Structure 1
């Protein structure tokens, strides 16, 4: 497999780069803050010194950037893509990825969106859930690459279908975490032992594994070392609400949750694990 260009080496991007190199793939990296690529460079990755030359020696270009506008701007700097496939893995809106897909086509490239569910641990173990959107032929050509990161990457449909699927899932992250926090706050105030409540919940149809995953963090009020931050959850929920409005859906039940997450802006909670929203479900 030829060299892969990895654009964006934050928490998830770095883990993706590590996994690809473990699978024997040569990786060239670029990040807006160059120091964040150092661990990959130390592990053997090549540095991309100028974005306009990134496509020349790479078979595919993976972007793992914060949002749609940033991705669009960075991809524009790649210049002529010379038929290369660009694989955006960051979460963005349906309109954003559609616009990016058109831009990539104008740059003589091909777009295969591949947003993922999971973060650093799943990337390192190759167990991300990959939801690809694009031409079936592009998916087939890039399937072996995606299989390095996912046990079974799924081709959802055309460009935009992956983004819609990812936003639908991330909405559930926000809603489930919020609802679990409220329930936990109530039973604690009522004097119900947490483990009694959890034993009942675990045997019911209402249980979701994320509850146990976040329980101890909430009990300890410890949200350090996030794999997914409160700020990113807020960004993705806002995108979901925008898409819901466009689709003619009744979104009022979620606007309050977005307002709640807005309260984290400018506080330490924003850069902490998203279940820090537990601190917001109590009236000040």
Structure 2
């Protein structure tokens, strides 16, 4: 069994950490709000007071954090950052959705200390994390990813090697951008259908029988029309991710920019903590 540390116990991290415990791994956890660690401690995890303390005895350190700023603080804080606690030969696994620039910068810092690095953000949300059905999009050395694959498969159903360090981060941003662009288009077109007097629910059923609607959009459409906006992927996080796509673009991304503007509008309407399917609220369906 692996001695692992898990940094960040939010909606995704807590479920992923629980899977590691269920598989019998020795786990140390850290979270800014230590109270959120209580269910994992009850399962057998050890609670560390700082990221540094969590990393000190770990063979693998996994992080699932909100954004670049939080990742930077958790890993590199001069006094309590996990970076200062890593032992030579340890492997860091960053599962957060971050900018490729920060991922590559952080990887270089860890590798300079003799640690391995894999960026392994995930495709999937809370139900997939709970069921161990996440898809890992991994960037890093082939040997590191191969060695980590059995551990990652306790939390997921597949590990895909996307390329060198940073490739996983880029691919994850592409996945989220594709999801966002589709969702914005579906919400907008449901408004069009309503304005032309169609039964939108019936039209959605028909569209679902055509090859142009992806499985993700079939589920999103159902939730849009049902008014189900429980935050599996909050609008505010999707806006953050598409902002990262634009910041990392190295070129023009007009569709992503348009979708990002729609997400900003939704946040201004008060939907930041609702699921991204709440984009439907921007269009008149009365």
TM over 0.5: yes
Structure 1 stretches of at least 4 aligned residues deviating more than 4 Å after TM superposition? none
**Distance in 1 (alpha carbons) for counterparts of 2:255 and 2:8:** 34
Aligned counterparts, 1:57-206, within 5 A: 57-76=57-76, 77-78=81-82, 79-83=84-88, 84-206=90-212
1:237 aligns with 2:235: no
In the alignment, structure 2 segments of 5+ residues that lack a partner are: none
- Counterpart in 2 of 1:23? 23
1:263 aligns with 2:268: no
Shift of 1:122: 0.8
1:254 aligns with 2:256: yes
TM-score normalised to the size of structure 1? 0.92
Q: Report Cα offsets for 1:135-165 as digits up to 9, x if no partner.
A: 1111122111011122221111111110111
Shift of 1:183: 1.4
1:151 aligned counterpart, secondary structure: strand
**Distance in 2 (alpha carbons) for counterparts of 1:268 and 1:222:** 16
Contact 2:58 2:86 in 1 (8 A): no
- Counterpart in 2 of 1:54? 54
**Distance in 1 (alpha carbons) for counterparts of 2:209 and 2:160:** 31
2:150 aligned counterpart, secondary structure: helix
Contact 2:57 2:87 in 1 (8 A): no
CA-atom RMSD, angstroms? 1.8
Shift of 1:14: 0.5
**Distance in 2 (alpha carbons) for counterparts of 1:267 and 1:70:** 26
**Distance in 1 (alpha carbons) for counterparts of 2:257 and 2:107:** 29
**Distance in 2 (alpha carbons) for counterparts of 1:10 and 1:17:** 10
In the alignment, structure 1 segments of 5+ residues that lack a partner are: none
2:55 aligned counterpart, secondary structure: coil
**Distance in 1 (alpha carbons) for counterparts of 2:228 and 2:85:** 46
**Distance in 1 (alpha carbons) for counterparts of 2:120 and 2:188:** 33
**Between Structure 1 and Structure 2, how many residues are aligned?**
279
Shift of 1:274: 1.3
**Distance in 2 (alpha carbons) for counterparts of 1:222 and 1:138:** 40
Contact 1:62 1:86 in 2 (8 A): yes
TM-score normalised to the size of structure 2? 0.91
